[in-house]
Every structure is written in C-alpha cells, then in structure tokens.
Chains A and B, each alone.
Chain A
Amino acid sequence: MKEKDAYIDYEPQQLIMYVEKEDGSYGPIQTGSYISKNYLDDFWEKMIKLRNSLLEKLKKNEITPIYFYKLIHDFNDVELSRRTGIPVYKVKRHQKLKSFKSVKLSEMQKYAYAFDIPVSNLLQAIVVEDNENKAESNMMEQPIIVKQTRTENPFLVITKIELNKK
C-alpha cells in the first residue's frame, strides 16, 4: 500500500499501518480506521436494532435476561460457562423461561460479573425514551445520563439519573 492511499482522516480511532513510503522504503504511519470512518453508523444501527428487538422479547417474556445479555456480549453457552464457572448444562437450563426462576442469587452474581453489570440489572431494564436511538457511546448526544455506581454491598447498586449538561 502506498503511503498516500493509506491516510484516513478519522481521529476517534487511530491505528498503525505499514506502508510503502514516497522514497520507496517501508515503515509505519499513524492513520484512522477506514471501517469506522465510513460504516460506524451502520454498526450502531444494527446494534440498537438487535438490543431493541431483544428487549421487546424480554418484555413479552419470550426470552430470559441471561439469553439477552449472552447475545449482547456475543458469548455462546460454552464461553459463558467458562466465564461464570457455571456448568454448561446449567447455563443452557438458565436460559429457558421456566427454569430462570430457579437461578440462585450466587449464580446471578456470577452472570452479572461476566456481563459486567450490577446483579439488579438482570431483573430490570433501565430505558430512557429520549436516548433510545442514540449510540450508547455517544454521551454528548444523550439528553439524560444514567449512572450506576457499585457499593461495597455486592447486591446493591446506586442508580442516578441526571440531565446531560454537556
């Protein structure tokens, strides 16, 4: 790749690319991500669509929260089992609607840890209507910010809802 063809003007995601420089030597340049510059909107559109469709199924009691977060984090049953230390057969069972209520609190804690969420979020969905179609990472665009702070109590989280003062 020629150096002049390699530059992508995209400051939020920088990377190193090895190129043929103008003097014919080969070496690194710092440039931007091609796919993020050109197709990031498409990525967020797909992620928001997936999250919203799964949330609808969750609301209709068609899927369990464990299945919801498993798909969001792109885990399969084996990976989730290894990340939680819960046997695969139990992970499969916990994703079935009729078995979800038999999940122990200690197991919930392990799932929450793997999904990087407070335990309470396995039993609630915090939705801010005005934020619904905004990418989560774009805090500047979100009119309301939800902050969840862990406490020393592993089962208690403080959820604060604030106006985004930008």
Chain B
Amino acid sequence: MIIESFNHNMAAHCESGSLTALLKHKGLEITEPMIFGLGSGLYFGYLSRTPNLSFPMFILRTKPGKLRKKLAKRTDIKFATQRFKDQDKAEQEIDRLIAKGIPVACQVDFYYMDYIPQWERVHANIHFITIVGKEGDEYIVSDSYFPKLARIHKDNLRKARFAGGYLAPKGFMYYIESVPESIDYKNLVPLALKNTVTNMIGVQPPFIGVRGIRTFAKKLQGWPKLTRDIDHLSHEVMKINVFLEDQGTGGGGFRYLYATFLRQASEILDNKELEEMSKKMMEVGDGWRNISYFAAKIGKNRELGSEKLQELGDLINNMADVEEGFYKELKVVSNNI
C-alpha cells in the first residue's frame, strides 16, 4: 500500500525537508526555511578530533535531530519517537504505522539509499527519509534528495537503520502526533534568532561558530600533512564544495536557506530590518559559494601548494569577518523585535 495523501517534494535538506513534509501532511502549513530558522539550524563547526572521522570535516548546521527537538520545545508540535534494539520489532512498527496511513521518518545511513547515484552515496548516519508505503518486500520512500518517490528493499532499509558507527541510528524513527492550529511567530522568531547568534558568536569552544570558521581557515594549511598523496588532498579539498553545496544545504552552506527564513520572518512580522538582514545573508551565501567554486577548481587542477591553500584560507577568514559583523547586527535586530 501507499499513503496517497502524502505529497512528495524535494527539499534542500533531509531533516528540515522530512519535517516539512510530515507537518504539511498533518495539516500545518509551514515552509522548510521557517522550520530551519525556528529550529536555529544554522551553525558552523570544524571537527578535527572526532575519533570516528578519518579526516577533519566541517559542519554547517546543528547536530542531526536538534531541529526536531527545538521545534518540539518551542511549539506545540508533538512528535512520537522510538529507538529499537530488536530489528524485527523496528520493521514491524513501521509496517503497523504505514498500514494505519501514518508516514514515518527514519534516520538512516545514506550509503544504503541505492536509488541515489553511486558517487553521492557515502557512509553518513545522519540522513532522514520518510517511509510512505510498502509493496511486497519494498518500502516506498520519500527522500528530499530524490526527485520522485523511490523504492528500497526491506533488507537494505534494515541495514541503513541499524548501521553502527558514529551517530548510529539504532532504528530511530518518528512521526507527528499532533500539530497546533497556529504558530506564535512573534515570540518564536526573536528566540530562534538569539539562539543562532549565540551559536555563532556567543561563548563557544574555538572550533564552533565564527571562531570555528577561523580555525578551519588555519587548520586547512595543515591538510597536506594529513593526506596520502596529491589525489587524496584534491579529493578532500573538493569535498569543501560538496559540503557547502551538494550535501543538502540549499546552496552556500545553508546561508541561502537562512536568508529565505529571514525574508519570510520579515514578511510575517512586517519588519523591514529583518528584510535587510535577509539581503545581507544572501550575500554571505554568495561568499561561501565563491569559496566552494574556488575549492573545486584548485582541487581539480591539483593547484594545492601552500600559496593556493593560503588563498583559500584567506577567503574563509574573510567570511568569518563578514559573518561576525552579520550576527552582531542580527543580535541588535532580534532585540528590537
């Protein structure tokens, strides 16, 4: 069977995309940027000491699951969540909910989503899909990164839900129990903005927020020592582009998505200052996009000597300065709402 009333749409990001789709299915009209913004999803972190990572990486949004948790805390949306030790029970629970016409979001290892082109699929236990039906041994999947409904064999879904390792899903799934009739944007928007400001320029460890961006620019210069050869270095540098543009960010490392949230918030609250901030955030996104193009180009051409890496580092440092100014201004604007 398939839940016919569920509308599949692509989205910028898997977590905010699946949340948006489930909330819309439940009757709450809300956009993906609004979910991302109200959940204070924007972030930066440079991870070089995480034991499970084979190479340093940077993140541009909060930890997987935080968006949902913050939304639950800040609004009256009620989520039902479950983790499982028993794989059979995990499968039976999805079957039971699907039979009742309830779409279910699952956390999975992206690698096993075999409808996605092979070059995109990496081991990452932070992907969210929505199960919207089952036919025979196959589940019908709504994946924000795929243009249409896809199918996945039950064995593959099981592997994806119970892959071990960093941020292991442990069969995690959730669905919406109830939604409020409306959302109190007037109170929530300033709260969400202040949280993002704290994440980016508040008291944070040196690898988080704007300080994290500067750490990234600095540590990047040491990448040649961490790689096997020039091809490996090229691969890692080109992944900067992938992290900023392709891995579910909506472009410019989530900054375009956040600019759209600010624009929508400005319209709901009729606030000109927020509209100005949305324009500035769009420009911040352009700055990150330039960095992603530059990284792809020098990686492809193997122009990875210290001068080029320094040039890339300077571009990143410049973004740290721009973002720092932006969040200082946003702090003032959020206090005035």
Contact = CB atoms under 8 A, between A and B. Distances in A.
Interface of A: 1, 6, 12-20, 25-28, 30, 33-36, 38-40, 42-44, 46, 49-50, 73-76, 78-79, 82-85, 113-114, 116, 135-137
A55 B71 CA distance: 49
A35 B242 contact: yes
Contacts of B54: 74-76, 79
Interface in B102-148: 111-112, 117-120, 122-123, 144-147
Contact of A40 (B55, B119, B286, B289): B119
B108 to A, nearest CB: 14
Given A1-B286, A35-B296, A114-B164, A6 B119 contact: no
B120 A75 contact: no
B256 interface: yes
Nearest to A42: B300
Contacts of A33: 245-246
A155 to B, nearest CB: 17
Contacts of B289: 1
Nearest to A75: B54
Given A6-B251, A25-B263, A34 B117 contact: no
Given A18-B33, A26-B260, A30-B10, A74 B234 contact: no
A84 B162 CA distance: 11
B332 to A, nearest CB: 22
B11 interface: yes
Nearest to A49: B231
A148 B290 CA distance: 43
B285 interface: yes
A30 B232 CA distance: 31
B75 to A, nearest CB: 22
Nearest to B120: A13
Interface of B: 10-12, 17, 32-33, 51-55, 111-112, 117-120, 122-123, 144-147, 159, 163-166, 168, 231-232, 234-235, 238, 241-242, 245-246, 248, 250-252, 256-257, 259-260, 263-264, 278, 282, 285-286, 289, 293, 296, 299-300
Given A19-B256, A34-B293, A43-B235, 14 more contacts: A12-B117, A16-B12, A18-B256, A19-B251, A26-B33, A26-B278, A30-B10, A34-B296, A42-B234, A74-B122, A75-B165, A82-B164, A137-B117, A137-B119
Contacts of A38: 296, 300
B123 A73 contact: yes
A68 to B, nearest CB: 14
Given A1-B252, A85-B164, A137-B119, A18 B10 contact: no
Nearest to A44: B119
Contacts of A135: 118-119
24 contacts: A13-B120, A14-B147, A15-B10, A26-B256, A26-B260, A28-B250, A33-B245, A34-B296, A35-B246, A36-B119, A36-B120, A38-B300, A39-B238, A39-B296, A46-B234, A75-B165, A76-B54, A79-B53, A79-B123, A83-B163, A83-B165, A114-B164, A116-B111, A135-B118
A18 B259 contact: yes
B260 A35 contact: no
A27 B257 CA distance: 8
Contacts of A25: 263
A74 B117 contact: no
Contact of A28 (B12, B112, B245, B282): B12
